[in-house]
Each structure stands twice: as C-alpha cells, then as structure tokens.
Chain A
Amino acid sequence: MTPVNRVVDEIPARLDPESAEWLRVLGADGPRREAALARLHGMLLRIAQRETRRRGPRMLIAGPELEDLAYQAAADAMMAITAKLSQFRGESRFTTWAYRFVILEVSAKLGRHFWRRPDVRLEAEDWDRLPGRFGFEPARESEWRDLLAALRRAVDTELTARQREVFVAIVVNDVPLDALAVRLGSNRNALYKMMFDARRKLRVVLAANGYLDDDDSGRS
C-alpha cells in the first residue's frame, strides 16, 4: 500500500472565509463561542440522525435507541472537534473536517451495537449463503459450483487461521467490518489489511487453477 501523507504538502493552506470565521469564534471566549458550539452541535446532530436512520434498519435498530445513538455520536464528535481544533490545517472546509468526526462516530457506534442482535453468531459458517453474496444465480449452479468449491478449499488451505476467521466472518457471515473489529479487539484498518492480503492470496490460487483470468494488474 502507498503512503498518502505526501499529498498534504500539495494542498494550499488558505482558509475560506467561512472556515476562518468558525475558527475565530470557536477559539474565542464568551457567548459567541457558546452560540457557535450550539450551532455546530445542531449541524452534527442532523447528520448523525440522517445517517443512523439510513443505516439503522440494517442493524435492526429503530426508535428511541436510534435517536440516542445519534445524540451520542454528535456529543462525542463535538468533544473530539473541540479537543483537536488546533489540528485543523485548512486542507478542507472547516465543516467538512468537522462532519467527518460525526460520520466516523456513527460508524463506530453502529459497529458496537451490532452484537446486540439476537441472531448474530460469529462461530456459524453458512457457506450456502456465499453464492448469494456474489450474485451467482441458483439456476446456473453447474457453471459456478467448481469455482466456489475451489474458493472454499483455498480459504481452508491458503489463509492463516486469523485470515480465515476474518474472511468467514465478513464474506460468509456478512458481519460488518466495524462490528468484527469490536468483537476481535482490533480496528477497521488492521482487519482490512488482513482481508487485503487474503483476497490477493485467494485470487492467485484461483487464477493459477484457471478459475479466474491470470491478470495481475490488480486494478479494477
């Protein structure tokens, strides 16, 4: 993977007037700062509410629980923003920088909430659901049966135990990445990198056995 830090130097550090005003009032004292904090909280809460309502049904969350989650996400985002205000370098509009905090809070909180669902079992392995995950049509099973059998063999023989555990949870059992990170005491980035390596290994094996094109450009 390629470091992306170098791109920061290419971005002009000029602040747009609106962002400059946000920094000025949030860095001040008194009622103007309080008013700005209240306004920012309202903006973050609206975003949190929209995102929780959009994503909540997939997690089987609704009603007051969803509303609580939105309020918590907005409150935690506010704390992070005020604590990290000095780290805002003007690479984007201030509000875009601030909104990112609440979006990431919503994702993290929904990930933690996932395990409250009564139907979730990490240990289950329902490989029969795999064809549906990728849109293989049951009527054409004769065309893809060998491919998926080869994929399952490769998962069992080519991946490390940890890679296999993560692959099965995410791909076979459809556990969200953030939820799995909570359960395994890990984080989104570490599990994604593990899956990244697993995907590459599996594709090499399937290509070597003629199931997929032997094309190593690696670009979609």
Chain B
Amino acid sequence: MNGWSALDRFLRADPRDVGCAEAMEMLHVYVDVVAAGGDAEERYPGIAAHLRACGPCGEDFEALLAAVRDDAG
C-alpha cells in the first residue's frame, strides 16, 4: 500500500461504523462468531467496519480472538 491509498483509506469514514462503545459491548459475540468460522462481517457489518478503522479496538479484537483460539487449541 502506498502513501496515497493509506491516507485515502484512513480518511474514509464508513457510515456503518458503530463506534468504539458499541463495538466493545458486542466484541465477545463477534469474536465467537469469527472463532466458529461464521461470517461475522455479514452479520455485524457495523462492528466489522469499526474494527477495520479503529486501531485500538482492532487490537483488542485480535487479542480476544487469540485468547479464544488458544482455549480451543
């Protein structure tokens, strides 16, 4: 990804984005769908849009998913 596309991607504000509070409120549900192989993006597009755009929430998502997968492994 070059600088132009990185900046363009950063500035795009997806109207479906639910914000941090709602995404974190539902994070456990979203993670269980992902861990089970379900289409979480299809079921919760607003959360998916948020996790793509918000670095801290995206990092919390990855951390929770890793913890759940560790349990399963």
Query: A: which residues have CB within 8 A of B?
Result: 1-5, 7-8, 11, 47, 50-51, 54-55, 91-93, 95-97, 99-100, 103-104, 106-107, 131, 134-137, 144, 147, 151, 171, 176-178, 188-189, 192-193, 196-197, 199-200, 202-203, 206, 212-213, 218-220
Contact = CB atoms under 8 A, between A and B. Distances in A.
A1 B17 contact: yes
Interface in B2-51: 2-4, 6-29, 31-32, 35, 43-44, 46-47, 49
B49 to A, nearest CB: 8
Contacts of A218: 12-15
A186 to B, nearest CB: 11
B20 A136 contact: no
B56 A188 contact: yes
A135 B59 CA distance: 20
Q: Which 6 A-B pairs have the closest CB atoms?
A: A136-B3, A203-B11, A189-B20, A189-B21, A200-B13, A92-B28
Given A8-B26, A144-B3, A192-B54, 6 more contacts: A2-B18, A4-B22, A47-B63, A177-B55, A193-B19, A203-B8
Given A97-B28, A220-B12, A4 B44 contact: yes
A3 B1 CA distance: 32
A197 B1 CA distance: 24
Contacts of B43: 7
B7 to A, nearest CB: 5
A87 to B, nearest CB: 11
Interface size range on B against A: 35 or more
B56 A107 contact: yes
Contacts of A200: 11, 13
9 contacts: A1-B18, A4-B18, A4-B25, A7-B43, A107-B56, A134-B7, A134-B10, A137-B2, A189-B20
Contacts of B6: 134-135
B12 A199 contact: yes
A135 B5 CA distance: 10
A178 to B, nearest CB: 6
Given A1-B46, A96-B64, A99-B67, A196 B19 contact: yes
A104 B15 contact: no
Nearest to A91: B29
